[in-house]
Chains A and B, each alone.
Chain A
């Protein structure tokens, strides 16, 4: 088995095994240990895949069960998907370490990890897949596990209500994306992303005449009319998954109701899947921003639509942050703002814009996970999520105080933290594209958000310390091993460390040539194998 498929397969296998093992093994610590080992292994596998792709400088095509595209499902991993998958796997390792501190001896732990590992499998599947329908399956895997995780405290009416809302709208979003996948199949005759991308680039026909004589057999629809419906339905779904305006409404309810580590997963990682899928569809598959694509004339319209969605989220969300009284709800609104900024970045249609968006995804994921986890310590100590009643845990544990402050400062965009560099990259991209109104949006949203973040910093660092707190829990190793690496990550996420990776990822998103050619080569090599075989 190739390591591309090994990571999701391992996660699915462990996720399904945990509840069964719980029938025999009752030690909760065992499940913490198994989950930690699994997530570390998955991180190493994703890192191996990323290293392999960067060294070969071409995407990997993995045929599921040996079936070639378009007959079978393929995983196609390029620098963009490998970067996001590796980073997701890394952050989840720290979240699992934090879960050990957070859950302790909670008897629901096996089920919790079963769902969490399932969600990670869904995320990796979304990033790795090269198939439009398989993306639907992975979105559903991610969605269903997250609905369960939001309703983890099933005795809480608030959690059940939030989960129900999330699931209800998730079902609608899934249905719309399913219609988009069906329309893709009905018009393009296949569901392989690389093949669909090849069809939208008529100029490539000269390079792949051998390929097109086979693949044209599958095409039976009017792709021009179909693409409008496919992109509209998928973009609606992806904006729902990313939690950007006006499809953000589920997010401020669902994220706070979940256990704190899950809030970190949802706000830091799950929303990125929507942004990634949007980039993959608009850039790679349909080539809206690719001059070689027959849909290139749509680029000005997409720039307007996406930048409006992004700008509206980036301004609306910090205003909502200011009036929140629930700390986790405030942080959830900040997620809407940052994903809005990510959307404005890739709305530009330039490599610099995509690079800035990806950079902001990385810094936001680390900052948001750290902020949720460190603020979660204060919530646990204060036994309330009400901001004004939070105790000054930061004065008892300097790591928690530093984590809250540094994550907030990074999210605001203060130097020398990662958030500053990613916002600076966005600023550069807006200036380069001549979109000065978006630079204003970026500055206004950051200024408003700063006021919101002060609402969290003030009670946790400068409020009254808790009198009846069990301070030994604040000194536990699992808390340090989860917060400290993320804190360091925010400091080291500067252009020196990630520039090369971001350039590779942005290039593979904007220039789809390698992505298309690898899918096509995979098909051609299979056809040649069949023709050369004795029975062929």
Chain B
């Protein structure tokens, strides 16, 4: 067997083994919810107070706040990547398609 073929086979095996290990793990992992993280706000003690100026706005958007706090600004790397990575993929896909299909050049 020549060197390029051997390299191709070994690469294919390593990718297959990696996928075999990674896919079951990826299927098990779920987004975690964190209550407190060091450089963030301690979110567990969040209360609405009528004395605060923003009280009415906070009352109206309470569910939105809860969603943002629990799922967007959690302080966990994975959660950030869950938003940031699709943004990168979207940018790459959109620009590649419109540049090539749109007839640039």
Contacts and interface: CB of A to CB of B under 8 A. Distances in A.
A178 B66 CA distance: 37
Contacts of A176: 88
Interface in A372-399: none
A324 B57 contact: no
**B73, B84, B96, B100 interface centre (most CB from chain A within 10 Å):** B84
Given A225-B96, A227-B99, A246 B87 contact: yes
B31 to A, nearest CB: 14
Given A319-B61, A319-B65, A455-B54, A227 B41 contact: no
Q: How large is the interface on A (under 10, 10 to 19, 20 to 34, 35 or more residues)?
A: 35 or more
12 contacts: A228-B92, A231-B95, A298-B102, A298-B104, A305-B91, A319-B61, A320-B68, A324-B41, A326-B41, A451-B53, A451-B54, A458-B53
Given A236-B87, A323-B65, A448 B57 contact: yes
A297 B104 contact: yes
A120 interface: no
A154 interface: no
Given A162-B39, A294-B105, A452-B54, A232 B73 contact: no
Contact of B75 (A168, A253, A455): A253
B24 interface: no
Contact of B68 (A232, A294, A319): A319
A307 to B, nearest CB: 14
Interface of B: 37-41, 46, 52-54, 57-58, 61, 64-65, 68-69, 73, 75, 77, 80, 83-84, 87-88, 91-92, 94-96, 98-100, 102-105
A404 B36 CA distance: 30
Contact of A228 (B61, B64, B96): B96
B88 A322 contact: no
Nearest to B48: A323
A319 B105 contact: no
A455 B53 contact: yes
Given A236-B87, A246-B84, A249-B80, A228 B69 contact: no
A249 B84 contact: yes
B58 A228 contact: no
Contacts of A208: none
A228 B99 contact: yes
B83 A229 contact: no
Contacts of B94: 232, 301, 305
A162 B73 CA distance: 14
Contacts of B65: 319, 323
Contacts of B52: 455
Contacts of A232: 88, 91-92, 94-96
B73 A298 contact: no
A224 B69 contact: no
B42 to A, nearest CB: 8
**B37, B41, B57, B95 interface centre (most CB from chain A within 10 Å):** B95
B39 A229 contact: no
Contacts of B77: 165, 168
Contacts of B91: 232, 235-236, 305
A282 to B, nearest CB: 11
